[in-house]
Structure 1
Amino acid sequence: MSWHIPDAMMLAADRLTQFLYRATGGLLGEKQLSYSVLLLHTIGRKTGKKRTHALLYFRDGENLVICASNNGSTQSPAWYLNLQANPRVHIQHGRIRREVTAETVGPEERERLWPKLLTVRPQFADYQQYTSREFPIIMLKPLPAVNGSVSGQGGIPGMSS
């Protein structure tokens, strides 16, 4: 029998992670149990307001990978819809802050990445039982900085804590 984390608990964990990240400049918050957690900063597609979410991720080369499971909901999470409207976003993983482009992977890439996601968080398979919606897998690709290097260590323009 699979189990489902209550939405209120997920929201509380999200807010606590954001607090830890902000209070420690990223020293705390990224590593939680065996998980790596990043902060995703988006702009609301309807409101234009800044939004931040704590999400599990794993590395795939220089890219980071996240999944829009929405805790097994039949609807995609709002942050994913915001990414579709504006795929150029800011993230923070640990003390590193960078601008990235978010791309939903295609079927072949999904086939390669889904088993890796299940290794990181086996509960994604349980979540998938709650809905017929296929969870989007998103690749976060670093944008080059002005000088040609990958953007990275500085603050996030327009994203104050």
Structure 2
Amino acid sequence: MEDTMPLKQKAGRPWLPPRWFIRFAWTFHRTLYRASGGRLGLRRPRPGRWGMLRLTTVGRRTGRQRGVILAYFEDGGDLVTLAMNGWGKSEPAWWLNLRDHPDAAVQVTDGRRLVRAHAAAGDERSRLWARWHEYDPELDAYAALRPTETAVVVLAPRPEAPDKS
């Protein structure tokens, strides 16, 4: 008998595209951003739609700068994202980098910002997780695909380092 269940609800799990497609989409998005000189690929969040930012971290093993484009929303002066790795099992490399080197930079549509990252915990995490539900009502079902709790990452503003000249 042919399987007639819709793709999105197969066996009570949300549908995800194949991993190769997710990785291709990430590569295409980064290429579009670079090829356009940063004019395409980022967007501000608005009600019902998350924004896109470019996060630059320091590699935990190489010490080299690493860039990634992430979904986010604004919470006061903070930017909030999820360390989900396309809902894959492993932690994203950018999050592992931030845990070792929490100071980073983000590029948003209105310019560059220096930030310091931390994982939200307790009431802060609960509040921010609930805010993500405004953008994706199936968030809990997707998070259940991962073997570990998905970190809610807060990118808080930090002052520019003083000039030492």
2:139 is matched with which residue? 124
Using a 3 Å threshold, how does the CA distance of structure 1 residues 86 and 48 change in structure 2: closer, same or farther?
same
1:5, distance to aligned residue in structure 2 (A): 2.9
Using a 3 Å threshold, how does the CA distance of structure 1 residues 42 and 126 change in structure 2: closer, same or farther?
same
1:70, distance to aligned residue in structure 2 (A): 1.6
Please list, as runs of the form range in 1=range in 2, the aligned pairs for 1:7-156 lying within 5 A after superposition. 7-31=19-43, 34-145=49-160
Using a 3 Å threshold, how does the CA distance of structure 1 residues 143 and 35 change in structure 2: closer, same or farther?
same
TM-score (normalised: structure 2): 0.78
Using a 3 Å threshold, how does the CA distance of structure 1 residues 114 and 139 change in structure 2: closer, same or farther?
same
Using a 3 Å threshold, how does the CA distance of structure 1 residues 22 and 94 change in structure 2: closer, same or farther?
farther
Deviating 4+ runs (over 6 angstroms): none
| Larger RCO (CA under 8 A, 6+ residues apart) | 1
Amino acid at match of 1:15: T
Q: Which secondary structure does the structure 1 equivalent of 2:148 belong to? A: coil
Q: Which secondary structure does the structure 2 equivalent of 1:18 belong to? A: helix
> 1:63·1:140 contact (CA, 8 Å) conserved in 2?
yes
1:123, distance to aligned residue in structure 2 (A): 4.5
RMSD over equivalenced CA pairs, Å: 2.2
Amino acid at match of 2:30: Q
Equivalences, count: 147
1:25, distance to aligned residue in structure 2 (A): 4.0
Identity of aligned residues (%): 35
* Cα distance between partner residues in 2 of 1:19 and 1:123: 29
Amino acid at match of 2:41: G
2:4 is matched with which residue? none
Q: Which moved more, 1:55-64 or 1:22-31?
A: 22-31
> 2:43·2:108 contact (CA, 8 Å) conserved in 1?
no
Q: Which secondary structure does the structure 2 equivalent of 1:31 belong to? A: coil
Amino acid at match of 1:7: R
Using a 3 Å threshold, how does the CA distance of structure 1 residues 95 and 19 change in structure 2: closer, same or farther?
farther
Which deviations, in whole Å up to 9, do the C-alpha atoms of 1:99-127 show, x marking residues without a partner?
A: 11011111110110111112223443232
